[in-house]
Amino acid sequence: MPEYTLLTVLGLVLVVLLELLVLRTGIFRSLAYWLSMAIIMGFQVLVDGWLTKLHAPIVLYEESQTLGIRFPFDIPIEDFGFGAAMVTMTMALWLKVTRPERAPRGAA
């Protein structure tokens, strides 16, 4: 498997485990999280699309380190895993800090 692809899968798994085993904020059971992820990914298409546009790229990729699938626009699909891992870790840490009394079960 290409290295960026492999690291993306690994990153996602580690962040999910961080939440389920360590932080236990219950974020994956909250409607707010999934709605937020949908909104964030929508904006990621715009921002990441701008960063990776092949006719005038800001970030360039070694294609052999990715699956080579660029969608939508010219975004390497691995970027969505990278982004999801990053913002999920951020939000879980944020909930841990700002809702310290929150029990792990019974999220909205």
Is residue 73 classed as helix, strand or coil in its secondary structure? Answer: coil
Residue with tokens 């962040």: 15
Residue of 12, 20, 45, 87 interacting with other proteins (CB under 8 A) = 87
Distance between CA 85 and CA 75 in Å, rounded? 16
Least distance between other proteins and beta carbon 13 (Å): 14
Residues 44-83 that bind other proteins (CB under 8 A): 47, 50-51, 56-62, 65-66, 82-83
Non-local CB neighbours of 51 within 8 Å, separated by 6+ positions: 57, 58, 59
Residues 9-28 that bind other proteins (CB under 8 A): 11
Structural contact between residues 54 and 73, judged by C-beta atoms closer than 8 angstroms: no
> What residues make contact with other proteins under the rule CB under 8 A?
3-4, 7, 11, 30-33, 35-36, 39-40, 43, 47, 50-51, 56-62, 65-66, 82-83, 85-87, 89-91, 93-95, 97-103, 106-108
